Amino acid sequence: MVDEDEQAWFKYPQHRKWFNKLYVADHFGYKCGPAGIPVPEPGEYVVRPIYNLAGMGVSATILYLSPKNLSIIPPGHFWVERFQGTHYSVDYVKENGRFVQLNCYIGVNSPTNLSLFSSWTRSDHVFDLPHSLMELDVPKLNIEAIGDKIIEVHLRNGFDHMMQYESIIPVFEHHSKKRIGYKYIDGEAEGYGWLPQKRLGYIVK
């Protein structure tokens, strides 16, 4: 059973390139580059770690960059053009040699802190996988996308264990575990200590 990226890293060594978020951005033709490479033009870019098996947007931020201010991008990070649109997380399972969409959730996060998601809501949106992902020889897949732009690929599912719920609200430290019509379930996560607030669980309905 593969439920976490750490498990997938060891289970599928032939597909480790998909853990590399700079590779993903370059593969899909986005404007991107590692620390030390200048951006093509001034503007707002997403800056995040090239590898992050902790997930949850750890250390991801939005910065205004110009071709001359390379020093503000930390080593081990990369920049990528910023996309506007709906944030989707979509799970797939492989049936008869093809990935079939299992679910889709819409995420809302803080515009100033990309690791703090305020909600995930079930959607009937259908996201068609590109051919390069359809060919992966793994039983489960999860992608995250902004609009039609895939920004993350995971060799496991994200919401298959929670897709009986229509609404999923992460509960971080100092947040209430109570909301009318919802129930609380545990789901502790620290993001390897890099989350600005520890996640305690979720309230769901």
Query: For residue 25, what are its two tokens?
Result: 């951005």
Grouping H, G, I as helix, E, B as strand and the rest as coil, residue 118 is strand
Examine the pLDDT at 58 and tell me if it is beyond 80: yes
What pLDDT, in 10s, does the model give residues 165-175?
999 999 988 88
pLDDT average, residue stretch 173-183 = 90
In the numeric block, the tokens 């769901």 are attached to 204
* pTM assigned to the model: 0.93
What pLDDT, in 10s, does the model give residues 71-110?
899 999 999 999 999 999 999 999 999 999 999 999 998 7
For the chain, how big is the Rg over CA atoms in Å? 17
Question: How many residues are recorded in the chain?
Answer: 205
Q: Which amino acid, one-letter code, is at 115?
A: S
* Class of residue 1 by CB neighbours under 10 A (exposed 0-12, middle 13-18, buried 19+): exposed
pLDDT of residue 191: 63
* Sheet with strand 77-81: strands edge to edge: 32-34, 77-81, 43-49, 61-65
Examine the pLDDT at 113 and tell me if it is beyond 90: no
Q: Which of 172, 168, 152 is nearest to 204 (CA)?
A: 168
